[in-house]
Amino acid sequence: MKFYYGLLVVFVIIAVGCGKIQSYSDIPHIDFVSYKLVDMTDPDSGNPEKTLVINFKFVDGDGDLFDPDTVGNNKSKLFLTFYQKKDGVFYQVPDSFFKTQLAFRLPYDQVMDRTGQNKTQKGTIQYSYSFLYPMPFDTIRVKFYITDMAEHHSDTIQIPAEIALK
């Protein structure tokens, strides 16, 4: 009789331990965590600048968000869009204002959870973007999204606060 109880316990442990593997979409998903705006000085020119530091979590189901073997040809990017407040309404700041598209290679050395046969990549990214100050506007909003190596476009996240530059 003890043998059957022992066998039953073993089967219960195996059944509980063999839970369904959680799978995620091949399209990256991001969640906003925090931001801060830091006053700095450009080390080369001595001019004042602001640095926007964004923290967000990501999940990429097919695990192609980071590939350290393709650093020179990395399609994984973070895209930022700035909006200026004018007369109480936010308008998109054109990329020409910054003299470049605000698309940046994702840092592949960020913390990532990837275990076993699971291809899913998860982690938290902290990204900093510095711009010269003063700006011709005093309040901004920022939206951002990421793309993976297959150029899948994540959802677009807006930092949930107006950012006062002055």
Ordered by start, the domain boundaries in the chain are 24-164
What are the backbone angles phi and psi of residue 98, rounded to the nearest 5°?
-90, -5
pLDDT tens, 19-74?
Answer: 556 678 889 999 999 999 998 888 888 888 889 999 999 998 888 887 656 555 66
At CA 62, angle to CA 148 and CA 81, rounded to 5?
25
Predicted local distance difference test score (pLDDT) of residue 57: 94
- Give first-to-last CA distance, the chain, whole Å: 78
Segment holding 100, helix H or strand E? none
Mean pLDDT of 78-106: 89
Domain 24-164 has CATH 1.10.3470: no
Lowest mean pLDDT among 58-72, 82-96, 124-138, 143-157: 58-72
Indicate the pTM of the whole model. Answer: 0.78
Q: What percent of the chain has pLDDT over 90?
A: 34
More confident call, 156 vs 117: 156
The candidate with the shortest Cα–Cα distance to 130, out of 76, 71, 24, 49, is 49
Mean pLDDT of all residues in the chain? 81
**For 130-150, what is the mean pLDDT?**
88
| CA–CA distance, 166 with 139 (Å, rounded to integer) | 8
Confidence of residue 1 (pLDDT cuts 50, 70, 90): low
Residue 34: predicted pLDDT:
96
Confidence (pLDDT) at 104:
86
